[in-house]
Amino acid sequence: MPRDAVMLAWGFPSRCLEGSQNSKMTERWDYSTDVPVYNFGYPYGAYGYGRVRYGPNYPNYPDYGLNMTPEIAYIPSRVASVWFIEQRVDAWERVR
């Protein structure tokens, strides 16, 4: 299968790598997707900020609780690769 057919079937690759094998030009196209990674950060040095009122008769006390803020980071992850030798598909693989 030529490179143009792969482009039509799978779209543009996330990255391209070029190399050489047995004196032949090779190329690898990687396809990736963004995977969400959830973590909990500690804003402002692991302590909250501001003042909290614990009732109508209590003075304001500083909020020393651990205000863990959920965060989502997106990490690229490879889901498929296609190897070309002299602009023809030699092999391919995908993650299930």
Q: Mean pLDDT of successive 10-residue segments in the chain (96 residues)?
A: 92 94 93 86 50 51 56 89 94 92
* Burial tier of 82 (Cβ tally within 10 Å: 0-12, 13-18, 19+): buried
Could you give the 3-state DSSP secondary structure of residue 2? Answer: strand
CA pair distance 81, 67, nearest whole angstrom: 42
Identify the pLDDT of residue 58. Answer: 52
CA pair distance 27, 25, nearest whole angstrom: 7
Identify the pLDDT of residue 47. Answer: 47
Residue 13: what residue type?
Answer: P
